[in-house]
């Protein structure tokens, strides 16, 4: 490899690393202060750089939140799709989806908080139409799993699956508001206990 190419690749890697650091700082500020209330200068301050220098990497805070959310959702759906393609039973699928959800909370906690708090506001822009599409797809996925469990005689038929979906969704994802990666229980153990608590209520005797 020529010295010029090596220097070019080294510079590209440094820019990518700095970009990731900026996105991490932005995610923390957006999650704690709210997207609308946060200024570009505040993001720059959190990242330890001048406000003008941030525009070298991003043209707007909208671009930053777009990349934060799209990265999180792309990873989440890749994980979910692997579960759905694994030919698992309804119960096993339920367990695996909850586990993947907590993995995402562990890895993308700030992005999850932003997604929960800002989707309605951001969704008014065509740029963020994928947020509503993700919500629709998420609902259909869970209803399909729950309905299959009822049809297979694994989950109780006297419980409305639409209500179950809302319960599971809210029970799992609200954890982003309190979960900490350095907490007493790791994400995998929290997921296991959540599954145990929920399934005791919806499994047939």
CATH 1.10.357.10 in the chain is located at: 61-202
Which pLDDT does position 98 carry in this prediction? Answer: 96
Strand partners, 203: 155
Question: What fold is seen in the domain 1-59?
Answer: Arc Repressor Mutant, subunit A (1.10.10)
pLDDT score of 7 more than 50: no
Which pLDDT does position 144 carry in this prediction? Answer: 97
pTM score, two decimals? Answer: 0.86
Q: Residues 161-179: pLDDT tens digits?
A: 999 999 999 999 999 988 8
Q: Residues 141-165: pLDDT tens digits?
A: 999 999 999 999 999 899 899 999 9
In contact, 14 and 96? CB cutoff 8 Å: no
pLDDT score of 132 more than 90: yes
Could you give the 3-state DSSP secondary structure of residue 152?
coil
pLDDT score of 95 more than 90: yes
CATH 1.10.10.60 in the chain is located at: 1-59
Could you give the 3-state DSSP secondary structure of residue 155?
strand
Which CATH number applies to 61-202: 3.30.70.2860, 3.40.50.850, 1.20.1280.260, 1.10.357.10?
1.10.357.10
Q: Residues 34-46: pLDDT tens digits?
A: 999 998 888 888 8
In contact, 30 and 38? CB cutoff 8 Å: yes
């Amino acid at each position: 490899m020529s010295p010029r190419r090596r220097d070019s690749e080294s510079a590209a890697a440094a820019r990518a690393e700095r970009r990731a650091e900026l996105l991490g700082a932005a995610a923390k500020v957006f999650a704690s202060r709210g997207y609308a209330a946060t200024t570009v200068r505040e993001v720059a301050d959190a990242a330890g750089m001048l406000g003008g220098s941030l525009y070298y990497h991003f043209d707007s805070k909208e671009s930053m939140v777009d990349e934060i959310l799209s990265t999180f959702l792309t990873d989440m759906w890749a994980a979910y799709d692997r579960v759905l393609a694994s030919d698992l039973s309804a119960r096993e699928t339920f367990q695996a989806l909850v586990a993947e959800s907590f993995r995402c909370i562990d890895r993308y906690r700030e992005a999850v908080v932003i997604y929960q708090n800002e989707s309605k506001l951001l969704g008014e822009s065509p740029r963020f139409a994928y947020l509503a599409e993700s919500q629709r797809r998420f609902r259909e996925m869970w209803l399909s799993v729950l309905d299959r469990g009822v049809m297979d005689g694994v989950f109780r038929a006297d419980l409305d699956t639409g209500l179950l979906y809302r319960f599971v969704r809210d029970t799992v994802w609200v954890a982003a508001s309190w979960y900490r990666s350095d907490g007493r229980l790791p994400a995998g153990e929290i997921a296991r206990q959540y599954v145990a608590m929920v399934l005791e209520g919806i499994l047939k005797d």
